[in-house]
Amino acid sequence: MKTHYYLGWFNDSFPENLGSVLQADITDRKSLAMISSNPSIYEDNGATERSWLDQAGIIFDEYHLINYHVQKEDAQTIIQNASVIFLLGGNTLKQNGFLMEYELSDSIKKSSGVVIGASAGAINMSAKWLCSKNFGYKVEMSSVYDGIGLDKFSVLSHFDLENNITLVQSELSLLSEEINIYASNKDCAVRVKGDKIDIFGNVFLISHSKIQKLDETLCL
């Protein structure tokens, strides 16, 4: 059963109940493949995201960081063999370009492992996402990018929703006519397991230009 986690950001560690659910889902812990969001910089090593897993007691036999220091063919092999794939947070556009250049999307979609994305990584896991200066991107014109497409919805992750609800609803109105959008801030998660979608924290659904806060459902 395919399992995907779309995370916001966590300042210290996973909350206990989210960590427990992850522990239950991640039974194979042979290897973790982390995909950089700033692949030109080796120091972007996923230490923060790895620390969340460490503190939740989720330890792997092998750890792999995929960036430009890894050959394209090797990167695809690492992903194919990974127990868990973690798309790191950071620069959404750079990570999106790297995924396309290294042709990693198909390997990720075919993986039988758990796929996790934090912030930028969660956005790039989705089917489509809106790149707009109102969401902090350094662009003049808004445009829609294709993500990996693990699930048929869009994600706005790690954005100050509580103080920008009207802006978010207006900005995403057009895209929400085409595809559902899950929007969240920090300390949030959307889990897709099979056909079931679970919610942790403050997550909003934007659909057909209407926005609603979703009930929290993620628990053991």
> Tens place of pLDDT for every residue, the chain, 220 residues?
899 999 999 988 999 999 999 999 999 999 999 999 999 987 667 899 999 999 999 999 999 999 999 999 999 999 999 999 999 999 999 999 999 999 999 999 999 999 999 999 999 999 999 999 999 999 999 999 999 999 999 999 988 877 888 999 999 999 999 999 999 988 999 999 999 999 999 999 999 999 999 999 976 5
Residue 192 maps to a domain = yes
Q: Is residue 219 part of a domain?
A: no
Let me know if residue 45 belongs to a domain: yes
- Determine contact, residues 151/194, Cβ cutoff 8 Å: no
Residue 75 belongs to some domain of the structure: yes
Number of domains in the chain: 1
**In terms of residue numbers, what domain contains 15?**
3-213
Domain assignment present for residue 8? The answer is yes
Name the pTM for this structure.
0.96
Least Cα distance to 118 among 180, 164, 45, 186 occurs for: 186
User: What 3-state DSSP class applies to 140?
Assistant: coil
Return the half-sphere exposure (C-beta side, CA atoms, 13 A cut-off) of residue 118. 24
Residue 218 lies in a domain: no
DSSP, collapsed to helix, strand or coil, labels residue 96 as helix
Evaluate whether residue 25 is within a structural domain. Answer: yes
Q: Which CATH number fits the domain that encloses residue 196?
A: 3.40.50.880
DSSP 145-192: EE---SBSSEEE-S---TT-HHHHHHHTHHHHTTS-EEEE-SS-EEEE
